[in-house]
Amino acid sequence: MTLPKVVTRDEWLVARKELLAEEKELTRVRDALNAERRRLPMVRVTEPYEFVGPAGTATLLDLFEGRHQLIVRHFMFDPSWEDGCPSCTAGADELCDGLLDHLHTRDTSVAVVSRAPIGKIERYRAERGWTFPWYSSFGSRFNHDFGVTVDDSVEPAAYNYRTRAEFEAGGAQLADGEYPGQSCFVRVGDDVFHTYSNYARGAEMTGGSYYYLDLTVLGRQEDWEEPKGRADDVRGARPDFSS
């Protein structure tokens, strides 16, 4: 294996402080980008999507579980497959009860949605020991409308905001099939709005409660965030999520 250069503690401290300056700049840029994400306009969802979960049929509004925000994890599970996508499976393993509890304290729900029928989803969920909400969108346009199922017979092929022609112009191919992503929604009363979606490697930043909240229109709901006045119940920056 190749390891870093071995230096004295004083030499390491100099290098670490140089890197820290770059890390702080990245943090400032990321905070500014998160603020821009929260300033994105939003789109009212008018399609009456219907999902199937363990308790039966559900609407998109039902997936909020009474909270104001919803993050949907688009889990790749084609109806013809017997098991879910291995990469999506690895990510879902991190959706622990503690993470969901933290998000719930910030008025945000998470639901996983796949095109596979609910029977296959429930079998796979039981095998994995997962407890998070997981719904089937089988038979609906939900996956197509939110850009994670590519099928020219339903919708002109596009993924991650690029058409098939744009992929080909860049020397890549866009095949029909299932793709990963996540989408964020906010509700005002019973009206649901789509605020954000990201795909491919864009979803890699979602590795913890704060990063999940950074994707949403209300953000972390803490007093230092921009733009001001977005959340009704502003909290201090407490990493234990106790308030």
- Total of domains in the chain: 2
Q: Which of 53, 114, 104 is nearest to 209 (CA)?
A: 104
Distance CA 48, CA 214 (A): 28
The mean per-residue pLDDT over the stretch 2-22 comes to: 92
With cut-offs at 50, 70 and 90, classify the pLDDT of residue 111: very high
The secondary structure of residue 205, as a DSSP letter, is G
Helix (H) or strand (E) holding 118: helix 118-128
Instruction: Report pLDDT digits (tens) over 39-79.
Output: 999 999 999 999 999 999 999 999 999 999 999 999 999 99
| Proportion of the chain above pLDDT 70, given as a percent | 95
Do 71 and 182 fall into the same domain?
yes
The mean per-residue pLDDT over the stretch 90-106 comes to: 91
HSE, side-chain direction, 13 A CA sphere, residue 92: 29
Do 69 and 49 fall into the same domain?
yes
What local confidence, expressed as pLDDT, does residue 210 receive?
Answer: 75
- Assigned token pair, 85: 């996508």
With cut-offs at 50, 70 and 90, classify the pLDDT of residue 90: confident
> Domain for residue 74, yes or no?
yes
Answer whether 110's CB lies under 8 Å from 131's CB: no
Do 205 and 127 fall into the same domain?
yes
Look up the pTM and report it: 0.87
Do 24 and 107 fall into the same domain?
no
* Matching residue, tokens 């296959």: 120
Do 32 and 50 fall into the same domain?
no
What local confidence, expressed as pLDDT, does residue 155 receive?
Answer: 86
Q: Which amino acid is at 14?
A: V
Do 74 and 151 fall into the same domain?
yes
Q: Is residue 207 pLDDT above 70, yes or no?
A: no
